């Protein structure tokens, strides 16, 4: 599933193309792409056609394009990429993409006519026209937005560690009240957003923390070190365009990311730990897997 770096790469690619663009037409090819939309496909098309996109914003793994007009109830086109969703920029009249679900034709003041294509092989992703609601803390809704608003469907999602409004002290306080293993807490999007399985494993390896370590047992120093490593991992992944293991994650131009070549723990089962040389192990975790070094990341008592 695309995590924060992958979604941010998509957001950054979309923003210069869609900011100020007028939506000239919308074509829904598969209504399964609208599972989060409250309404029919024809209502989705009508709600967007003729509107102007203000920009592109993101909180955690949620991406949205704020729409101009209707100030009494601000709205945005919200996108959740799910397991395999892609937002692609194409020239007008370009052939239909494989697994294309929705096509949005826009007229950009900078780039002229373009098509924003939502393609999704597994159909777990979705688009929706959603109301923008005030943020609980009064700060901008997310990365790329100056408006203190967030889509209603993402209002429960916590800020991510790269968000300027992320509160480090609040995160540390949340850890003190959690008996769950620290990896489970990192994956809880209501506590901290944007961190998925890959980057949780990588940050825990860098911080020398076993994934099953109870969150409440982390000292203030350990919590600060973990948060610093989370940010370092996410920023490095961003710089390398995200992580691509197959053709399902690509940026808006269809290009893959390269962070897979920089992984230290995730997906390296049996290979030597880059730090100590012992083999990386893999264990089952929440219908997924955890990868860690049992020497560098000592298990807590009773684990």
Report which DSSP code applies to 298: P
Helices (H), 142-244: 168-176, 182-186, 197-207, 220-239
Mean per-residue pLDDT for 64-73?
88
Task: Report CA-CA distances (Å) from 76 to 68, 95, 106, 229.
Answer: 9, 27, 15, 33
**Binding site residues, as ranges?**
99, 122, 178
- Where residue 19 sits, what CATH number does that domain have? 3.20.190.10
| H/E stretch holding 114 | strand 112-120
Which pLDDT score is estimated for 237?
86
Same domain, 8 and 145: yes
Mean per-residue pLDDT for 243-266?
56
Same domain, 18 and 148: yes
Question: Is 187 a member of any domain?
Answer: yes
Residue with the two structure tokens 């408006």: 147
Active site residues: 2-3, 61, 288
The residue out of 109, 127, 154 marking a domain boundary is: 154
Which pLDDT score is estimated for 242?
55
User: Measuring CA to CA, which residue among 196, 284, 285 is closest to residue 233?
Assistant: 196
Look at 140 and 86; give whichever has higher pLDDT.
140
- 10-45 pLDDT, tens per residue? 999 899 999 999 999 999 999 999 999 999 999 999
Tokens of 156: 């429960």
Number of domains observed in the structure of the chain:
2
Q: Average pLDDT of the chain?
A: 90
Same domain, 137 and 175: no
Look at 251 and 198; give whichever has higher pLDDT.
198
- 170-187 pLDDT, tens per residue? 999 999 989 999 999 999
Same domain, 181 and 124: no
- Where residue 253 sits, what CATH number does that domain have? 1.10.8.50
Residue 303 confidence class, pLDDT cut points 50, 70, 90: low
Alpha carbons within 13 A on the beta-carbon side of 130: 24
Mean per-residue pLDDT for 253-280?
80
Residues 6+ apart with CB under 8 A from 287: none
Question: Is 221 a member of any domain?
Answer: yes
Range of the domain at 31: 4-154
Which pLDDT score is estimated for 138?
96
Mean per-residue pLDDT for 235-262?
57
Same domain, 112 and 38: yes
Estimate to the nearest angstrom the gap between the alpha carbon of 91 and the chain centroid.
Answer: 26
Residue 261 confidence class, pLDDT cut points 50, 70, 90: low
CA angle (205, 203, 214) in 5-degree steps = 80
Question: Is 274 a member of any domain?
Answer: yes
Same domain, 22 and 105: yes
User: Measuring CA to CA, which residue among 45, 46, 43, 54 is closest to residue 18?
Assistant: 54
Same domain, 43 and 145: yes
Question: Is 297 a member of any domain?
Answer: no
Question: Is 299 a member of any domain?
Answer: no
Which pLDDT score is estimated for 83?
82
Question: Is 140 a member of any domain?
Answer: yes
Mean per-residue pLDDT for 212-237?
95
**Binding site residues for DNA, as ranges?**
99, 122, 178
Mean per-residue pLDDT for 160-167?
95
Question: Is 303 a member of any domain?
Answer: no
Same domain, 119 and 183: no
Question: Is 302 a member of any domain?
Answer: no
Residue 288 confidence class, pLDDT cut points 50, 70, 90: confident
């Amino acid at each position: 599933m695309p995590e924060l770096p992958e979604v941010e790469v998509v957001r950054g690619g979309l923003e210069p193309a869609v900011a100020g663009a007028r939506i000239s037409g919308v074509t829904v090819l598969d209504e399964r792409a609208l599972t989060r939309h409250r309404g029919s496909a024809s209502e989705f098309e009508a709600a967007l056609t003729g509107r102007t996109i203000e920009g592109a914003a993101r909180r955690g793994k949620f991406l949205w394009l704020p729409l101009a007009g209707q100030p009494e109830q601000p709205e945005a086109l919200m996108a959740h990429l799910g397991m395999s969703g892609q937002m692609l920029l194409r020239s007008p009249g370009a052939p239909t993409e494989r697994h294309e679900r929705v096509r949005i034709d826009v007229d950009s003041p900078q780039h002229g006519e373009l098509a924003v294509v939502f393609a999704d092989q597994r159909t777990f992703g979705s688009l929706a026209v959603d109301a923008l609601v005030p943020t609980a803390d009064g700060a901008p809704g997310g990365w790329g937005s100056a408006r203190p608003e967030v889509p209603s469907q993402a209002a429960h999602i916590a800020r991510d560690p790269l968000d300027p409004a992320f509160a480090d002290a609040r995160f540390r306080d949340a850890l003190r009240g959690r008996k769950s293993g620290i990896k489970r807490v990192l994956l809880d999007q209501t506590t901290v957003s944007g961190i998925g399985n890959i980057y949780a494993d990588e940050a825990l390896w860098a911080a020398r923390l076993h994934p099953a370590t109870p969150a409440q047992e982390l000292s203030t120093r350990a919590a600060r070190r973990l948060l610093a490593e989370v940010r370092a991992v996410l920023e490095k992944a961003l710089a390398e365009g995200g992580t691509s293991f197959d053709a399902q994650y690509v940026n808006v131009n269809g290009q893959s990311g390269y962070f897979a070549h920089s992984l230290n723990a995730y997906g390296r089962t049996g290979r030597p730990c880059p730090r100590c040389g012992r083999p990386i192990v893999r264990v089952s975790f929440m219908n997924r897997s955890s990868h860690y070094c049992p020497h560098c990341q000592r298990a807590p008592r009773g684990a």
